[in-house]
Amino acid sequence: MKRIALFLLTNLAIVLVLSIVLRLLGVEQILAENGTDLDLNALLIFSAVIGFGGSFISLAMSKWLAKRSTGAQIISQPRNATEQWLLSTVADQAKRAGIKMPEVAIFPSPEVNAFATGASKNSSLVAVSAGLLNTMTKEEAEAVLAHEISHIANGDMVTLTLIQGVVNTFVIFLSRVIGHFVDRVVFKTQQGHGPAFWITSIVAQLVLGILASVIVMWFSRQREFRADAGGASLAGRQKMIAALERLKMGQPTQMPDELVAFGINHKAKDAFGKLFMSHPPLNERIERLRQAR
């Protein structure tokens, strides 16, 4: 997988914008103690504020971005039997999972996919593609919905947001330390910070952010196994396995980047790309379910 989930890209963009705004406002001047050395305590606080701030802003925007990027249409009043079935199934699963009824939507895509997103368990969105409804049986679709409901009930969106916030904090902290080192040692700046600090910090933040996404994606893969288990509990293990088998038969899906981490299906194209996979390989997921007790 050469693309990084837009949850990460949106987060990275917000963090960069916050950094630049605070820099223009002069806030980053607190990082230089006596004009020569970094104030590491102030830097860590600064990094945490921006890191968690960017992550939670991304989370708050998640439903809006999801609807806008996929063209998902919320089902407020069912227009046909399929939409009525969707609402009824999600309502039943949400009740059994102990969460409030999510918004339910269909997005216009011929590919077989679905996703869940939202700022909290009780303010969430579950969406399925038109391709999924046209391709899967009701039993398979029920398992996919159960998988997405499990993501919500497990608090996966908030969990990944917190993990991303921690990762952001260290990326920002280390990028400033690297920038300070280059500015002082390579460019011999004696007082304050020169252009080398700002340029190096931004480049380091981008590079470290991409590398750090490997950590976030590892956690995402573990949450995917847990959502599969939750889907099996709500809909039945054989239905969950059948749904994953159906996904194996389809073509690699291209979800909008911001939703890859919370979709049901994604395939990496190469070995390096597997480090950035938000989902484990389907064969591994199926085997894990078959071995479950």
Handedness of CA 263, 92, 133, 139 (dihedral sign): positive
Pairing, β 103-107 against β 123-129: parallel
Structural contact between residues 189 and 32, judged by C-beta atoms closer than 8 angstroms: no
The whole-angstrom separation of Cα 275 and Cα 269 is: 11
Strands (E) located in the chain: 32-33, 37-38, 73-74, 103-107, 114-120, 123-129
Q: Confirm whether 142 is a catalytic residue.
A: no
Sorted by sequence, the CB contacts under 8 Å of residue 82 that are 6+ apart come out as 133
Instruction: Please identify which of the residues 148, 245, 258, 287 carries the catalytic annotation.
Output: 148
Best CA proximity match to 165, nearest among 7, 2, 6: 7
Tokens for 66? 């999801």
Sorted by sequence, the CB contacts under 8 Å of residue 23 that are 6+ apart come out as 198
How big is the CA angle at 93 (ends 282 and 67), to the nearest 5 degrees? Answer: 70
Report the chain's C-alpha Rg in angstroms: 22
List the beta bridge partners of residue 229: none
Sorted by sequence, the CB contacts under 8 Å of residue 11 that are 6+ apart come out as 54, 55, 58, 164, 168
- Cα–Cα distances in Å, from 89 out to 45, 109, 147? 45, 21, 12
Q: Which residue has the tokens 């040692």?
A: 185
Catalytic residues, by residue number, are 148
